[in-house]
Structures are given as C-alpha cells and as structure tokens.
Copies of this chain bind each other. A is one copy, B any other.
C-alpha cells in the first residue's frame, strides 16, 4: 500500500517539485495539497505542467484532517508560520518534513537573531534532526520531524564537513562563493526576479547578511566537532535551477606538509578525494568527480557532484546541486524514503 503524502503550501516551486517527483514514486502518492488562496481549484490550474498527470484539487489546510488521511506531510510554508503548522501536524499524528529554517539551527538565540522573529515552538529547536541522510540517516529513520536542509548549506556542508572532521583543512578560513538559479528566490511576484531583470545578469546579494551563513557554520561544527567560521556570498545567476559553490579553503598543517614532502600537489588532492569517497561510500547521490562540475550535470536530479583543485596554497572545492532537487524537494523525498524504510533512491531516478 502506498504512503499517503500531504503537501502544505503547494503553489511555489518546491511544492511543484514535490508533486512532480511523487508522480513517479513507486511507493508514495500525493493525496492532499493545500493552498490558501487557491483552495478548491485543481492543482493543474496553478501548475499547468501537472495537467493530465495529477488529478488533485487544492484544499485549505486542516491539520486534523491531514492526520486522518496522511502518513507524512511536506511543509513548504515560510519560517515561523511553518513551525506553528508543524506542531499542529505532529499533534495530529503526522510525521513532517519541514522545508523552512525553523528547526535547522541548534541555537534558539541564533535563530531568533537571524530570523528576527519569536519561534513558535522553541522546545524543538536543537532537538530536531537535520535532514541530511548522508550524516543523520539513523535519526531521520525514527524522527517525527525532519528539518529539511537549506539549498546553499547542502552544497557547502557536503564537501566541507568530512574534510574538517578528518582534520584535512582549516576550519577558520573558508570562503564560499555560491551561484544559484533564480528559482531559489521563490515564485512570488517581485520586480527583482522578473525575466528581464535577471536574464543576462549575475549579481551578488545579501553580502554578509544571508541566513544560510550561520546554518552552514552550525552544521559543519555539529558534524565535524570543530568550531567553524565561513564567509558566504550568494549570487543570483541567470538560470532557473542549480547551485554551484566554489569554496576556498586552506589545507591543515598536516595536509600542507604532506603535499610538500611528496613533492606533488596531487597528494593533497588525492587525500581530499579519498576522504570524500570514504565518507560517502554508502550515499548514493554524492559523487566526487575528476571533471569540474557544472550545474547542468545535476539538473533535475538529486545528485551532488564535487571536485577539488589546488591554486597556490589554497584548495578550491567545487560542488554542484539542483537547488530544487537535492537542495529542497529531492532531499525531502530522500528523507521520506529513509523515514519509511524505502531505498534512498526510490522515486529519485
């Protein structure tokens, strides 16, 4: 029997991607999709690409009702609003995958300072598993709530965390220069994301003030056990999907030594690649590669491609993901698979 899935907040790009991915999932079915303004309409009226593929009408959000009809809910609401709904859903007996940032950070104080809002369910902050099955599969398997990771953090944590945990690179001098497709900015009508504003244009935004900077630091610290500082700069890139992160790091003393003593830059590079291969041996989606990854190489998939190069005394790490797939909805499906005992790759091609 199929898993019954609810999608809370179905009108955005992550909602569409969840719906799309579930149409091809062998063990799960989307049975409830909610949207405030559009309730009563067919989901295809909001997402014409679902016409003929998904016959479902949008509903008002009713947590108790979802409790009766669904096993799991994907919650795509804005922060703070999300935590409130997540609590209601959990109370109604539904396991939840939350796309917001509400349960990602370990510190309530950091959350409330960066998000400038009072947290509606503070007890769960710091006690909710972060939905990266590459590191937390066991906790995810038994969780009632999973905090689905941010898109940029996924692209940064996966290459960084194992290298810092293994002591191969320094954790206090990390620059992350990330380039995201425009879908990361959401589907609400804003001049800044009109076609003619973003086409043929790349620009940095939120320099020094993006909320994913503390999320990256928090998670790398939790995974590696080492205090970590990162400088993170996001860029809006003229493409719909994808994130490329170019990450500038310094080899730790040992690795730097080793490179010099072997007399070859390749020694350090090979150590990095081996660390990644070891760490992700059981992770079907994380793929260290020799070529330089491009976002097109992972578009529409849940895969992560990662590479490393040397330039002078620094190493340059590169990672590419699809921001809507592994960066959001694909990760959510992967988490759902882990929560309900399916193969991680079920429904993810």
Contacts and interface: CB of A to CB of B under 8 A. Distances in A.
Interface of A: 13, 23-24, 26, 48-49, 51-53, 175, 177, 179, 181-183, 187-191, 193-205, 207-208, 229, 231-233, 235, 237-242, 244, 246, 248, 287, 289, 291-301, 303, 305, 309-312, 314, 316, 318, 320, 349
B194 A49 contact: no
Contacts of A314: 175, 231
A189 B194 contact: yes
A23 to B, nearest CB: 6
A205 B289 CA distance: 14
A240 B196 contact: yes
Given A49-B297, A190-B189, A305-B51, A200 B233 contact: no
A185 to B, nearest CB: 8
Contacts of A316: 204, 207-208, 231, 233
A197 B51 contact: no
A199 B195 contact: yes
Contacts of A287: 51-53
A307 to B, nearest CB: 9
15 contacts: A49-B298, A51-B289, A177-B246, A179-B235, A195-B199, A195-B240, A196-B240, A200-B240, A200-B299, A207-B318, A208-B311, A231-B311, A231-B312, A231-B316, A233-B316
Contacts of A248: 175, 177, 231, 248
Nearest to A286: B52
Nearest to A291: B48
Contacts of A26: 26
Q: Which 4 A-B pairs have the closest CB atoms?
A: A52-B287, A201-B296, A203-B294, A208-B311
A196 B13 contact: yes
Given A208-B309, A208-B311, A310-B208, A193 B195 contact: yes
A27 B347 CA distance: 15
Contact of A200 (B23, B201, B292, B295): B295
A247 to B, nearest CB: 10
